[in-house]
Amino acid sequence: MQFPADLKYTKEHEWLRVDGDVVTVGVTDFAQDALGDVVYVDLPEVDGAVSAGDTVAEIESVKAVSDVYSPVTGQIVAVNEELDGSEESINEDPYGAGWLFQIKLADVAELDGMMDVAAYQAFVAEQEH
Amino acid sequence: MAERFYKYIPATAGEIEHMLGVVGYASIDALLAEIVPAPQLLGRPLALPAPVSEGEVLEAGAQLAAQNQHAGTLACFLGAGAYRHQIPAAIHHMVSRGEFLTAYTPYQPEVSQGTLQGIFEFQTMVCELFGMEVANASVYDGASALAEAIFMAHRVARGKRPKAIIAGAVHPEYQEVCCTYGLAEIVQLRAQPPGADGRIDLAALEASLDKQVCCVAVQSPNFLGLIEDLPALAELVHAAGALLVVVVTDPHACALFESPGACGADIVVGEGQALGLPVSMGGPYVGLFATRTKLVRTMPGRLVGRTHDVHGQPGFVLTLSTREQHIRREKATSNICTNQGLCALQTAMYMSMLGPDGIKDVAERSHAHALYLSRAIAALPGFELPFGGHFFHEFLVRTPVPAAGLVEHLVAHGVFAGVPMSRYFPDRSHELLVCATELNTRAQMDELVRLLGVHAAYEGGAA
């Protein structure tokens, strides 16, 4: 299971790649493994304002449908249109081609509370027990 | 007490006596006197007629039934959402088989392949008829299908378009159901009055379309019988980023005219009664619901799909169930978690027995009869057809005397002349909605025309 060191993580098993005031969001390797084969993704509308904790997307796998929450407050500036028809990218490349959406942060300080890779790995280890 | 015999109470006289003994009363009357306040007791036997035998009850029932005047005994020109077409006798025998008698969509594919295949074929035929890509396993009726379609359009717009426009010439009862269905809680429904030609006023519609509107719902043929300009509507509605919902009350129309799907509709719903179900006092009917594949995840209702089992053999199974409330209650696309299984099956039997050519034949003959009848009525003094537009098998007539009175008079002469518009709109007293299908004979139509002429002349002269 992969845990890239340059990302931030949440307790909802989402990852954030920070680039200035824009974050790219996806689900972690642990999350995709738990979901199973993804068959459909419902992505948010670009330009929409979101608050941390809002349900912004849905991932449907052969096993279940799961909500994806916005980890931060801001504005959706891009969604991964490539996923339409290639939903398996979430399973095959969760940290790359499987990204979900990008948010322009309202307040960069919001990232301070996120887990780093070590904290997330510890969190996952705890979950697995 | 002990010798009294209660035919429909399972306790025997002995058991009743025993129970009374346990609670310490001599009789049921004594027990009741203790627990019901005296002023509330009737104090005398119920004024019921003496018991009669089963044979006598049946006889009395048959005599009452013989007084009914119905579409099977009178020449019937009634429509307005319920349409009388020939139902092949084989359908009754097939649909009465005990194996089919379940109203519920079975969950378990391992025991329900036959039912699931029947529903799959029903869905396929609905798609062909409507010119759409995916149809569900049916909903309750045409009116609730329309309400569900508007809910769906609201979901497609992610709740960001809080208004829906309904054409004024959508069946008034369907409009009423949309209001009672709880739609008003979610979207602001606005009825767009029809234009002078009885159809939706495209210019007025264009003026009221904005980014708040999630859909425009239109019936075609509309409640006045007229064919709406669906391609023009689709263009207008799509330019505003909204969905076009088309409702069809007699799907035979889709075999004669360009299908709503081919005209650009995004959701097509309809009443399936005309496809092999009788006009039996309003039900049970069956709602048809179809849409585009790209919108399938927002569609309400059950959906049966075809797949392969582990041995590679074709099989049928409920699919895309994540839309439904048994998977995700609060996010389900609808609270309808069943379908009109038997009625849907019956319409599937009808469609497969007639085939595309047979359905088209029924539509053509109905249309030809309606044309013949409309011309003959229009030629009567004082009668006119207020709208010049094309119609299918139903048309509006302006009558020289109140239409409700005409209808009542003609029933006494063995004819249901049509549905007076005053039934829905009290101020439209001189308008009659007349429908002819393939079942109306030339003799029936000529008799209707003769009776209309005679009674209008008599009433007009008397007034």
* A126 falls within a domain: no
Give the mean pLDDT of B276-281. 89
Q: Do A60 and B327 touch (CB under 8 A)?
A: no
Question: Which domains are present in chain B?
Answer: 1-43 (no CATH), 75-84+356-462 (3.90.1150.10), 89-351 (3.40.640.10)
- Amino acid in the structure at residue B375: R
Smallest CA–CA distance, residue A80 to chain B, in Å, is 17
**Residues B436 and B77: beta-carbon distance below 8 Å:** yes
By percentage, how much of chain B surpasses pLDDT 90? Answer: 73
**Structure confidence at residue B104 (pLDDT):** 63
Q: Which residues of A touch B327 (CB under 8 A)?
A: 65
Check CB contact under 8 Å for A42 and B297: yes
| Beta carbons within 10 angstroms of residue B150's beta carbon | 26
Q: Which residues of A touch B297 (CB under 8 A)?
A: 40, 42
Give the distance from residue A105's alpha carbon to the nearest chain B alpha carbon, in angstroms: 23
Query: Does A42 sit within 8 Å of B327, measured CB to CB?
Result: no
Written as one string, the DSSP assignment of A13-58 is: SEEEEEETTEEEEEE-HHHHHHH-SEEEEEPPPTT-EE-TT-EEEE
**Does the residue A78 lie in any domain?**
yes
Against a cut of 0.90, is the pTM above it?
no
Are A40 and B297 in contact (CB < 8 Å)? Answer: yes
CATH number at residue A49: 2.40.50.100
Q: B99: closest CA among B111, B90, B109, B88? A: B111
Confidence of residue B338 (pLDDT cuts 50, 70, 90): low
- Counted domains in chain A: 1
Q: Do residue B328 and residue A65 have CB atoms under 8 angstroms apart?
A: yes
Least Cα distance to A24 among A73, A86, A67, A76 occurs for A76
**Best B322, B324, B328, B329 residue to mutate vs chain A (most A CBs within 10 Å):** B322
Band of pLDDT at residue B1, cut at 50, 70 and 90: very low
Mutation for B interface: A60, A62, A81, A87, most B CBs within 10 A = A60
Instruction: Look up the domain containing A84 and give its range.
Output: 8-107
Alpha-carbon dihedral sign for residues B61, B67, B69, B71: positive
Q: Give the residue from chain A lying closest to B296, CA to CA.
A: A40
Q: pLDDT for B74-94, tens place per residue?
A: 999 999 999 999 999 999 999
Within a domain: A122: no
Q: Omega before B51 cis (within 30°)?
A: no
Residue B343: is its pLDDT beyond 60?
yes
Whether A87 is covered by a domain: the verdict is yes
CB contact at 8 A, A88 and A36: no
- Under the banding of pLDDT at 50, 70 and 90, the label for residue B283 is confident
* Residues B125-140: tens digit of each pLDDT: 999 999 999 999 999 9
SS3 (DSSP) at B379 = coil
Instruction: Tell me how far apart the alpha carbons of residues B364 and A76 are, in angstroms, rounded to a whole number.
Output: 54
Higher per-residue pLDDT: B128 or A126: B128
Residues of A in contact with B328 (CB under 8 A): 65
Nearest residue of B to residue A41, measured between CA atoms: B297
* DSSP, residue by residue, B128-140: HHHT-SEE-S-BS
Does residue B246 have a pLDDT over 90? Answer: yes
> B103 pLDDT exceeds 60?
no
Tokens of B197: 């030609």
* Residue-level pLDDT at B2: 44
